[in-house]
Amino acid sequence: MNSSITRLLPGLKWVGRYNADLFKGDLTAGLTVAVMLIPQGMAYSVLAGLPPIYGLYASLVPILVYALLGTSAQLAVGPVAMVSLLIYTGVGAIAEVGSDAFIQLSVLAALGVGVVQLVMGLFRMGFMVNFLSHPVLSGFTSAAALIIGTSQLKSLFGVDLPSSKLIHEVWGAFFQNLGGINGVTAAIGLGSVALLMGLRAWNKKFPGALAVVVLGTAVTGIMSLNGQGVAIVGDVPQGLPSFGVPAFSMASIQALLPTILAIALVGYMESIAVAKAIATRRGYKVVPNQELIGLGAANIFGSFFQSFPTTGGLSRTAVNDQAGAETNWAAIISVVFIGLTLLFLTPYFYYLPKAVLAAIIMVAVAGLFDAKEMKHLWLTDKKDFAMLAATFVATLTLGIEEGIGVGVLLSIIMVVYSGSKPHTAELGRLEGTRTYRNLERYENATRTDGVLVYRFDSPLFFGNSERFGDALREKIEMRDDDITHIVLDAASIHSIDSTGAHALETLIHEFQEKGIGVKLSGVIGPVRDILHKTHVMDLVGEDHFYFDVQEAMESISMNGQSKNGSTTMTHSAAQANGKS
């Protein structure tokens, strides 16, 4: 297959070398994921506030498109709980849940999410997801797990509860209406939860969700439990989804924009995390920006066939991998099986109890609550724990989109704060070596009288240039000897902007006026170029740049009598001017 074609359509790279062994693994995995996705897709569609059939629609075209454009051979794309919750809360704030307008806006959201992800991929903006740090994502998903579980109380127990994004309101109403619980519905719901957990403990590969759906539907239909107040799915349309361009207006796009951005960001984060983990274990690489393109195109084309937003799912991907998926073609096998279900099997879902779908959702999202990570951060990093806790509380008390917003804001603040308060160190030489290390960490490191060796562990830019000078002056003041030379170990300064260069120039002037010589070591090429353009190199002198600290110190020891630091550079240091 032509390399240019496979770059555009990575899923076609298997054409020409596909064989029976690969097909065997893909067939098993494809059927296994389809059996898992059918009940899950319907359940997540209900969670999103949509009719169950839309979960099956979302399990067709998006999967096919990603199979052609995605770079992960095992990622299982489709409806996921987190995205469904974002649809329910975001679109539900604009239109009545379950209404025709709600359905249309949900499909439009898929188009919007696809466009955002596709643009991010084309412009290589995958780095933007780095602003959603792991502690923030963990806090958000843990809170979302509680919100999702709470949202299913109504269906699980057959009790009338108000719709609210604040879980304390829902739980309060639940306890006030305990007398209104439908006993038969509660028995089906709790029994389904127990059965699902038992089957999972017995064999994780067993299609427990499908078994519970079949059993619950059969019992409800045979015993006519819908006549006893058990809510059922009812008529499920038969046939494949029809083609249509989502109806939209600027007003609806503007109203949906916060939800679209949240789904695009969170959906990609969930997808790329699991895709990278499996790819690393299997010995290949996923391409982040191509993943954005694949997911974006999947959502765009899916919206033309009545799909709500989709992304790669954690649990299904794990099952796909464990079941033996070798290539993207496993996903196509899943689509064929789901398509056959839409064509011939949907009438059999008529008596499916909504309590069973609620049970599937609750068991599926239980693993999203990350108590292990909370405990780990509490013991190892209180700062990250505080970010996790703040995002968790904000999501529970303010809402889903607001929680994500708080998390992203906290992540950006921490990036800015860390950049403005970088680590600095005074270095000393390790006895018997040419190596210089932090005096505070190495007991056998010794300083040289009259010389301060200073290391700044960060890029030097406008956000920390003041810190750069203040920390250096502070270390000079802490010394009990007269400083005649300063050696700046710049190996950790991998970039410098105009503000940083100006701050360095000001400091050099300041020290030179005090008769203190300044030497720089380990300056990398790009930083050296900036110092040359801003004339800092002329101020210091090209002969004051060295490969490492030891060379700078040797030049001082040879010419220690000159307080202005005028020295002759070594041959290797001269070479460094052009090559470092």
Q: Give DSSP secondary structure letters for 32-74.
A: HHHHHHHHHHHHHHHHTTS-THHHHHTTTHHHHHHHHH-S-SS
> Do residues 359 and 238 lie in contact, with contact meaning Cβ atoms separated by under 8 Å?
no
Alpha carbons within 13 angstroms on the beta-carbon side of residue 222 total: 6
Structure tokens at 564: 């202005």
Mean pLDDT, residues 488-499 = 95
Instruction: Say which residue the tokens 């800092």 belong to.
Output: 536
Mean pLDDT for the stretch of residues 50-55? 96
> Could you report the per-residue pLDDT of 331-386, keeping only the tens digit for each?
999 999 999 999 999 999 999 999 999 999 898 888 778 899 999 999 999 989 99
pLDDT at 509: 94
pLDDT band for 563, please (50, 70, 90 cuts): very low
CA separation for the pair 139, 368 (Å, rounded): 10
DSSP category for residue 10? G
User: Is the pLDDT at 577 greater than 70, yes or no?
Assistant: no
Q: How many residues does the chain have?
A: 580
- Nearest Cα to 577, choosing from 520, 535, 534? 520
Whole-angstrom Cα distance, residue 3 to residue 117? 24
Binning pLDDT at 50, 70 and 90, where does residue 36 land?
confident
Predicted pLDDT of residue 39 = 92
pTM given for the model:
0.78
pLDDT above 70: percentage of residues in the chain: 95
Query: Looking at residue 580, what is its pLDDT?
Result: 43
Query: 192 pLDDT exceeds 60?
Result: yes
Residue 578 pLDDT class (50, 70, 90 cuts): very low
Taking the C-alpha atoms of residue 56 and residue 41, their distance in angstroms, rounded to an integer, is 6
Reported as a single tens digit per residue, the pLDDT across 248-293 is 889 999 999 999 999 999 899 889 888 888 888 888 888 989 999 9
> Could you tell me the two tokens for 477?
């003041």
Given the DSSP bridges, would you call strands 485-489 and 451-456 parallel, antiparallel or unpaired?
Answer: parallel
Residues of the chain with CATH 3.30.750.24: 421-579
pLDDT at 77 over 90: yes
- Looking at residue 437, its amino acid is R
Question: How confident is the model at residue 3, as a pLDDT?
Answer: 66
Q: What is the pLDDT of residue 351?
A: 94
Residue 419 pLDDT greater than 60, yes or no? yes
Run of H or E including 312 = strand 311-312
Measuring CA to CA, which residue among 308, 300, 317, 231 is closest to residue 33?
Answer: 317
Task: Fill in the amino acid letter for 69.
Answer: L
At 440-465, the pLDDT tens digits run 999 999 999 999 999 999 999 999 99
Q: How confident is the model at residue 1 (pLDDT cuts 50, 70, 90)?
A: low
- Name the strand (E) or helix (H) holding 445: strand 445-446
CATH 3.30.750.24 fits 421-579, yes or no: yes
Query: How confident is the model at residue 544, as a pLDDT?
Result: 93
How, if at all, do strands 436-438 and 77-78 pair?
unpaired
User: pLDDT per residue over 129-156, tens digit each?
Assistant: 767 778 888 888 888 889 888 988 999 9
Q: Which of 118-122, 125-129, 479-483, 492-496 has the lowest average pLDDT? A: 125-129
Of 121, 126, 51, 133, which is closest to residue 84 (Cα–Cα)? 51
The mean of the pLDDT values for the chain is 89
Type of residue found at 352 = L
- What is residue 300's three-state secondary structure? helix
- Span 540-555, average pLDDT: 93
